[in-house]
Structure formats: structure tokens, C-alpha cells
Amino acid sequence: MSDLLQIARPVLLESSLCDGSPEKIYWGNGTSFLASYKNNCYFITAAHVMNKQSACASDLRIFPTDDSCITIPFNSQYELKPLASQPEDEYHDLYILRVDLPMHVINTDSTTYTIDLNNIIASPEMLSIGTKLGIMGFPSDSREINYDLKNIIYKRSVMSAQYNGKSFDHCYSLKINDNLGHTCLDGMSGSPVFSFHEIDNGVLPKLIGIMIRGNGVSGEGHFISALVLKKALNLMV
């Protein structure tokens, strides 16, 4: 389970100060995750996470694990963003970057955990209403800033939910059973959503989608199907 938790990464951004000094400022809101597909590794989040923060690929500072001190390099030639797509397109709210694997392998200081989209994936259409789900992300109200140490502490939350069926357009709905005290789910956009399947030696989690919106008070949430994500990745290979 600990390896699975590392797949979800907080969206951290770096900016330069306006006064021209070399000092950097760090900020960011939202969740992302790392996935492997067809011998490549990808950074995935919701496009509105980037758009609302006016962020671009060069601003991202994503660490492969909680203990890593070296960020993941990206290959900017392989980027899916919704600038050229229409709102009705299935992948309109997906933002994807390919990891520069040769550079990452040389420089990384930790293991990189990914969800295998070649195998560990399921269609929400195959689930029954009420199926148990799990959502891993970083609610904004759990983020702490230590001004003395000049760092940001992101606390991961794993929320239990149940499948509620098709909702709208290319999305599906869920009901959060336990929001862990978070009345606002801001920051959970981009989170991976998993279903759990019994196998001979335990339970196998499978990715069924990516969270795009949620209400901490009502517990209602919506996610894009993982099959749409897989379709989008096929545009990048």
C-alpha cells in the first residue's frame, strides 16, 4: 500500500521573484500522479489545475517520492494540454507530460512509483453502483508552510468512496464516505481514483479515473474515465 501512495504527487510550482533576484518562490495547489504506459512514464493531472494557476510545464517541480530531493525532468516535446481541444472532447480536462526517462534515470535519488496503465486499469462502466473506491490526493487545507525552514509540507489524504454511475458528458460520479474532516476538496483535482478487486492473494487496486471536481460538504465528486486517459496517451506515442 505504501508504494501505491507514492504514485500520487502534490503539484508544486516554482517562480522567480519580480525584482530580478535569484531567489525562487514555491507554491502550488492540486494533485497529480505518475503512470507508465508503453515503455514510457507520464505526469498526469487535471488541466484546470494548471490553468487556474496560470502554470506551464517549466514551472512544475515534481518529486518522485516523499523523500526525494531531485525533481522529475520532462520532455516538453510530448505534452498534452487542452489548448487545441474543445470542451466536448473527452480529454479536454487532462494535462499530461512525458517524463524524460534517460535524464531521470541518470539523476534520480529514489525509486519512481507509477501506476501501470498497460494492465492495472478498469472501466467504470464495468462497476456496480456502490462499488468501493479510493481517492488519493492533497487537499489544500492540509498544506502547511514553514516560513522558518522555507518549505511546504503536503499531507496526503486517502478517502474512501463509492461508485455512483455515469454523471455527465464523459464523466462518472462518486460519493465520498469519509472526507477525513476536509470540508473543502480544493486540491483533490487530478487525484487518481481506484477500484478494488479481489484476487487469490489479496486485493488488487485498479485505476478507474482521474478526479476533476468534488464537494466536501455533500461528498459528491466526479471523475474522468481511465479509458479516456489511455486514449489520450495514445495520442502521444
From the list 26, 31, 67, the residue with the least C-alpha distance to 150 is 26
The share of the chain scoring above pLDDT 70, in percent, equals: 84
Task: State mean pLDDT over 48-66.
Answer: 92
Q: Which residue has the cell 494540454?
A: 81
How confident is the model at residue 168, as a pLDDT?
75
Q: Which residue has the cell 473527452?
A: 90
From the list 15, 35, 65, 59, the residue with the least C-alpha distance to 191 is 35
- Which residues fall within 8 angstroms of residue 176, CB to CB, at 6 or more apart? 135, 159, 160, 161, 185, 214, 216, 219, 220, 221
From the list 29, 39, 40, the residue with the least C-alpha distance to 154 is 29
Q: Domains in the chain, start-ordered, CATH in brackets?
A: 2-117 (2.40.10), 124-226 (2.40.10.10)
| pTM given for the model | 0.89
Burial 58-91 (b: 16+ CB within 10 A, else e): ebbebbbbeebeebbbbbeebbbbbeebeeeebb
Instruction: Name residue 160's beta-bridge partners.
Output: 134
pLDDT at 7 over 90: yes
pLDDT category of residue 74 using cuts at 50, 70 and 90: very high
| pLDDT tens digits, one per residue of 132-166 | 999 999 988 777 766 565 567 778 888 999 999 99
| pLDDT tens digits, one per residue of 151-209 | 677 788 889 999 999 987 778 999 998 766 766 778 899 999 999 888 888 888 999 99
How confident is the model at residue 113, as a pLDDT?
93
How confident is the model at residue 215, as a pLDDT?
76
Answer yes or no: are the C-beta atoms of 176 and 161 closer than 8 Å: yes
